[in-house]
Structures are given as structure tokens and as C-alpha cells.
Amino acid sequence: MECSEADCERPAAVELHIPWNENRLVCAAHARVLGRQDGVVADPDPERGDALLEEE
């Protein structure tokens, strides 16, 4: 599955739990940025650990 962010083709590796919106599956790079917002919880998918280590 690909990252849900527009124009991103990286594999989704993290589910973001967003209190004010629907949860989203995103790549590690977007999770690092979006997961810093107050109230957002980043939940890495243990089966996608290889995608968490990808170089950008």
C-alpha cells in the first residue's frame, strides 16, 4: 500500500491516529513530520519495518 499523502509513492509504514480527522496510512517520512502535531499518535506497522528504514 502506498502513502496516502498526495504525490507520494513511498510505501505506507505508519498509521497516524488523528483525533480531528480519519486515521491515515503514511510513509515514514510523512509520519515524522505529521506525527509531531499535538494529539497525533504514530503507530508503526511492525510488518513494514523495512519501509521505516528506507533512505529518501
Summarize pLDDT for 1-53 with one digit per residue, the tens.
899 999 999 999 999 999 999 999 999 899 999 999 999 999 988 777 666 65
Residue labelled with grid coordinates 508503526: 44
This prediction has a pTM of 0.79
Residue 27: per-residue pLDDT? 92
CA trace torsion 49, 25, 41, 19 (10° rounding): -170
Angstrom distances, CA of residue 45 to CA of 6, 29, 48, 52: 21, 14, 5, 9
Angle at 15 between CA 20 and CA 7, to 5 degrees: 90
